[in-house]
Amino acid sequence: MSATSPNPSLGLQSKRWNGLRNILEREGPFCKDDFSPSPDNLEFLQTKCKVLVIGAGGLGCELLKDLALMGFGDLHVIDMDTIELSNLNRQFLFRRSDIGASKAECAARFIQNRLPTCRVTPHFAKIQDFDDTFYQQFHIIVCGLDSIVARRWINGMLLSMLRYDSDNTIDVSSIIPMIDGGTEGFKGNARVILPGFTACIECTLDLFPPQVNYPLCTIANTPRLPEHCIEYVKIIQWDKENPFNVPLDGDDPQHLAWVYERALERANQFNITGITYRLVQGVIKHIIPAVASTNAVIAAACATEVFKIATSCYDSMANYLNFNDLDGIYTYTYEAEKSDTCLACSNAPQVLPIEDPNTTTLEDVIKLLCESARFQLKSPGLTTVFQDGKKKTLYMANVKSIEEATRKNLTQSLGELGLQDGQQLTVTDATSPTAMTLQLKYQTNEIEMN
């Protein structure tokens, strides 16, 4: 039988699934009230339930393996990366001969060869390459990502797909559950997110390790740290000079040496010290430690939650699992609460407090949006609409011509830009597929009233 043409009937008849039948075809003391024991449950997993796995790295490989062995017959996997030699110590679906090939395609091929009853569709692309119509086809989405930006983006996409009834209640048929897993060294977490009902990624953004984000305006105009110089070469100078006519590769010694030399030159211009080859490599590759055993534990927790949601055989986790095996084994589960001031799921403009609009510049606002634990934006673009209905782009770094035209606004105060107390700013960023709305709140007004 061809590995690309799985036979669903063979999957249903196989003795491989006897353990699943004991769960799905019998009642038990822990079953949910709406659970109906039936052979149809296994058939649903094998032939109808469609699950998307985002990421085919250390965690993604474990997830694909677990889900395939748990009876899911229609999996999709997205990953934009290719296989490197350093991946082989923990990403067990790959072999040395796969180096340089797509992770998604190699992972899909391996799973189908090992388990022909499971069909895995690879997507060698970014999650941002797909629109809402693509994501709407899935029953559940499970993430094995190493990027907080990507997590926030898919979180925003699922929230944007929610539909509301006339009384402003969420249409439950529009909810696509997201199971998110993450690992760093001997620590990990797994969580269940029901968009619109439970805490989302943005609600608990402060639970993630502090992220190092450098505003593009600082990198380009007023660098203060060696990392600023490296990011400048990485983001601006590499694309401008295109030294090797290929994208920047953090594993290529020639590329790293070129970035090191240019970053050192820029650092000398601004009297900045501390540029080292190791720092250049760390900034470019965003190196995160990975341990195979941690990946296995977190993937197992995530796959179990996918199974519970897909079959209704047991209540899903509520809703955040913390795991640590740095010194013994420690796990803790608690319910993260939905935030009323969440930027993504609160459905209301959020207040942006400003001490004094006459001394606070637009650059100060952008730094706040990038560096504060609440926002943690990457490279925000800001627009506003004035009372006369005129729309104005205040700053946008991602489009070169607009960046050059709006750069002068960075040094102007909010008062000089004509921004009033209560005025709304529309903010776009790589962390979200949709724009967010922030409302300026000047603290000086409150002081004067007192």
Structure tokens at 350: 């959020």
**Residue 192 has what pLDDT?**
96
- Tell whether 46 and 163 lie within a shared domain: yes
**Containing structural domain, residue 245:** 216-285
Residue 252, φ and ψ in degrees, nearest 5: -90, 115
The alpha carbon dihedral of 199, 205, 206, 208 has a sign of: positive
The pTM for the full model equals 0.78
**Residue 13 has what pLDDT?**
66
Average pLDDT over residues 262-282: 89
Long-range contacts of 439-443 (CB under 8 A, 24+ apart): 439/349, 439/350, 439/351, 439/352, 440/352, 440/354, 440/357, 440/414, 441/351, 441/352, 441/353, 441/354, 442/354, 442/356, 442/357, 443/353, 443/354, 443/355, 443/356
Say if 12 falls within a structural domain: yes
- Tell whether 143 and 43 lie within a shared domain: yes
- Tell whether 356 and 276 lie within a shared domain: no
Residue 179 has pLDDT above 90, yes or no: yes
Structure tokens at 415: 């008062």
- Tell whether 164 and 226 lie within a shared domain: no
- Tell whether 53 and 172 lie within a shared domain: yes
Which range has the worst mean pLDDT, 48-52, 242-246, 413-417? Answer: 242-246
We report the CATH number of the domain holding residue 413 as: 3.10.290.20
Q: Is 209 helix (H, G, I), strand (E, B) or coil?
A: coil
**Residue 210 has what pLDDT?**
60
Say if 2 falls within a structural domain: no
**Residue 213 has what pLDDT?**
63
**Residue 444 has what pLDDT?**
65
Residue 71, φ and ψ in degrees, nearest 5: 105, -5
Say if 339 falls within a structural domain: no
In 293-368 the beta strands, taken as DSSP E runs, fall at 320-324, 330-334, 350-354
Q: From CA 273, how far away is CA 39, in angstroms rounded?
A: 67
- Tell whether 394 and 407 lie within a shared domain: yes
We report the CATH number of the domain holding residue 231 as: 1.10.10.520
Residue listed under structure tokens 């990457």: 378
Structure tokens at 282: 């760390």
Q: What is the pLDDT of residues 125-142, one digit of tens each?
A: 999 999 999 999 999 999
Average pLDDT over residues 201-223: 75
Count of CB atoms situated within 10 Å of the CB of 50:
16
**Residue 240 has what pLDDT?**
86
Q: What is the pLDDT of residues 38-86, one digit of tens each?
A: 888 889 998 999 999 999 999 999 999 999 999 999 999 999 988 888 7
- Tell whether 71 and 23 lie within a shared domain: yes
What is the rounded average pLDDT for all residues in the chain? Answer: 87
**Residue 185 has what pLDDT?**
85
Structure tokens at 155: 């979180």
Say if 322 falls within a structural domain: no
- Spatial contact of 78 and 123, defined as CB atoms under 8 Å apart: yes
- Tell whether 169 and 121 lie within a shared domain: yes
Say if 326 falls within a structural domain: no
Q: What is the pLDDT of residues 11-21, one digit of tens each?
A: 566 788 888 88
- Tell whether 16 and 145 lie within a shared domain: yes
Pairing of strands 330-334, 391-395: unpaired
Q: From CA 248, how far away is CA 31, in angstroms rounded?
A: 52
Q: From CA 289, how far away is CA 160, in angstroms rounded?
A: 33
- Tell whether 34 and 62 lie within a shared domain: yes
Say if 332 falls within a structural domain: no
Average pLDDT over residues 353-368: 90
We report the CATH number of the domain holding residue 122 as: 3.40.50.720
Active-site residue list: 217
- Tell whether 53 and 130 lie within a shared domain: yes
Among 285, 303, 336, the domain-final residue is 285
Say if 197 falls within a structural domain: no
- Tell whether 81 and 17 lie within a shared domain: yes
Considering only CA atoms, which of 408, 437, 411, 409 is closest in space to residue 425?
Answer: 437
